[in-house]
Structure 1
Amino acid sequence: MPLSPSSSVQEARKAIAQRLREARLDAGLTGHELSRRCGWHPAKTSRIENARAAPTDADIRSWCTACGAPDRIADLIAASRSADSMYVEWRRLHRGGLRGIQESYAPLYERTSAFRIYCSNVMPGVLQTPEYAAALMGVIADFQGAEADDSADAAAARVERSQVIRRGHRRFALLVEEAVLRYRVGDAATMAGQLGHLLSAMVLPSVSLGVIPFTAQRRIWPQETFSIFDEECVEVELLTARVMVTSPTDLQQYVRAFADLSALAVHGAEARELITAALHSLG
């Protein structure tokens, strides 16, 4: 089965739907009777109970009131909001600019001891140079049609956040597909500086950097870029949204995927050869 970054969101919504259904059954109500008490069409009740539609806060209040279970309202609204926050569109996150979302990660980075980061499309954020980060943020701002381009400030915030790699006793296991070394983000000078930075970072005692060669015999297919923070959560980066995975079952699936991807990677001298080859290809 493919890794599905939206599976945790759907499972969370199914759990809320099940709790609402239980409230209806505990009250001895049919779907039609609950719908009548709430003042909406029975099809809406069916969609909510089958997790085909996410209930609003008002829906949950009406549902629980109709079932004579007002004590369940607060918990169910909190669970519903949590499920909604797991899948957040970049457009919403970046509404106030790109810098804010970069700064918002700081508490998570500070409390994480072990980082496992897999990148299939761009350099790991914790190893991006200021020039590479600025070029990337500029591309993102342009693609999303940002009203105000604060990509320079966002890049500075990302680089500042990345200083955790040199502080404390944290461990960073980083994997990149070889293609990441070749993708041109910024001009040749920017890429040369970025690749040189990778070579320098490899000597840090806290960093393990692996490169998955083009020639690796795939036992697991390339994934979306994802980051595992201790055993707390996984962030998956989609084109349109960020997904935060917290379900223990799904989290362990990403841990397994990271282990399988690690088995494909080369480290040390072999990884340096691939980085150096990409550097020389810049001319």
Structure 2
Amino acid sequence: MADQQPSDAAKRAFAIRLRDLRLDAGLSGVALAERCGWNKSKISKIEHGGQSPTEADVKAWATACGAEDQIQALVAARREVEQMWLEYRRELRAGMKHIQIRSMPLFERTKLLRVYEAVHIPGYLQTFRYAATQFEIHARHHGLPVEDAEDAARNRLERQRLLGTGTNAFIFVLEASALYNNIGGAEVMNEQFDRLLEIAAMPYVSVGIIPLGQPRTLLFPGEGFYLFDDQLVRQEFWSGMLRNSRPEDVGYFLRTFDALKAQAVFGSAATEHVETARARLRET
């Protein structure tokens, strides 16, 4: 449903995992509640997603079901589910400029970064002025200090020192629509197009464009996401960020990225789409 957070499915899956643990132990909800010393309604609330179990609840649940050997894995799964969805209002308390620096170690240790974006140029490819304009927009929207936008942009561009070195490899897939969203005006966008083509020509970097109007093998362009090797996927939404390292979910995004990449054009064909967007900008 439209009002569900992206982590809701993971929460439901964890609740089902706890329910199955109870059923495998041959316990009714009432019997499990008695063993744990809880009100019987608590079992139902946890299993139907109405209440999130604490770590103590998970340990008591597993012990009551005779599954002490699963406690460590269950606690780890619960922590991951709780950490998957990070609300911007909490994440941004550190400030935009600090968030950019804080994520740098993750980018440094990632050997292959795969990025898909549908609505704007990915942060890794941005110019200073494009990034600063984007951060200013975010600051005004989230009620943050606008004066931090330039520092945040400088910190974001620090990632670009990894491009073309061979220590890290990059594959970027953009919807052509990302080229037409005007961030900062004609001068900023022209500069951004130049930088995009410059980076696309670097070794160990691939930049693909999915043409406008191309028949889709996927239903529609979706939210942008970053894949850090085959270990972590990160998605940003208006109200928060989803981070997920569950192998089955990362595998889903790897397959999705491959399908999107198959629809993209690279090299001179991608350059043509950038130049078409530049020409369209001159006409406006």
Q: Shorter-chain TM-score category?
A: 0.7 to 0.9
The answer to whether structure 1 residue 267 and structure 2 residue 280 are counterparts is no
Unaligned runs of 5+ in 1: none
Correspondence for 2:234: 235
Correspondence for 1:143: 141
Distance 2:57 2:146 in 1: 36
Alpha-carbon displacement from aligned partner over 1:59-102 (angstroms, at most 9, x marks no partner): 44665677788887665444322211111112211122112221
The answer to whether structure 1 residue 6 and structure 2 residue 6 are counterparts is yes
- In the TM superposition, 1:115-130 aligns within 5 A as 115-130=113-128
Structure 1 vs Structure 2: percent identity of aligned residues?
Answer: 36
Q: TM-score normalized by structure 2?
A: 0.85
Does the C-alpha gap of structure 1 residues 78 and 246 become closer, same or farther in structure 2, counting only changes over 3 Å? closer
Distance 1:116 1:201 in 2: 15
Does the C-alpha gap of structure 1 residues 105 and 13 become closer, same or farther in structure 2, counting only changes over 3 Å? farther
- In the TM superposition, 1:128-207 aligns within 5 A as 128-146=126-144, 150-207=148-205
Correspondence for 1:282: 281
Q: Is the 8 A contact 2:12 2:48 kept in 1?
A: no
Distance 1:83 1:51 in 2: 13
Unaligned runs of 5+ in 2: none
Distance 1:79 1:133 in 2: 35
Distance 2:182 2:71 in 1: 51
Distance 1:216 1:105 in 2: 35
- In the TM superposition, 1:9-24 aligns within 5 A as 10-11=9-10, 14-15=13-14, 18-19=17-18, 22=21
- In the TM superposition, 1:86-101 aligns within 5 A as 86-101=84-99
The residue identity in structure 2 corresponding to 1:97 is G
Deviating more after overlay: 250-259 vs 118-127: 250-259
Distance 1:14 1:244 in 2: 16
**Aligned alpha-carbon RMSD (Å):** 2.9
Which of 34, 37, 44 pairs up with 2:42? Answer: 44
Correspondence for 2:210: 212
Q: CA deviation at 1:190?
A: 1.2
Distance 1:147 1:187 in 2: 22
Alpha-carbon displacement from aligned partner over 1:110-137 (angstroms, at most 9, x marks no partner): 1111111110011111111111111111
Secondary structure at 1:281's aligned position in 2?
Answer: helix
Q: TM-score normalized by structure 1?
A: 0.85
Q: Is the 8 A contact 2:176 2:273 kept in 1?
A: yes
- In the TM superposition, 1:63-82 aligns within 5 A as 63=61, 76-82=74-80
Distance 2:156 2:54 in 1: 35
Correspondence for 1:254: 253
Distance 1:264 1:73 in 2: 44
Does the C-alpha gap of structure 1 residues 252 and 61 become closer, same or farther in structure 2, counting only changes over 3 Å? closer
Q: CA deviation at 1:43?
A: 2.4
Q: CA deviation at 1:24?
A: 8.7
Distance 2:85 2:44 in 1: 23
Secondary structure at 2:108's aligned position in 1?
Answer: helix
Q: CA deviation at 1:46?
A: 1.0
Correspondence for 2:51: 53
The residue identity in structure 1 corresponding to 2:253 is Y
The answer to whether structure 1 residue 108 and structure 2 residue 106 are counterparts is yes
Alpha-carbon displacement from aligned partner over 1:176-227 (angstroms, at most 9, x marks no partner): 1111111011122111111111111121011111111112111112111011
The residue identity in structure 1 corresponding to 2:150 is A
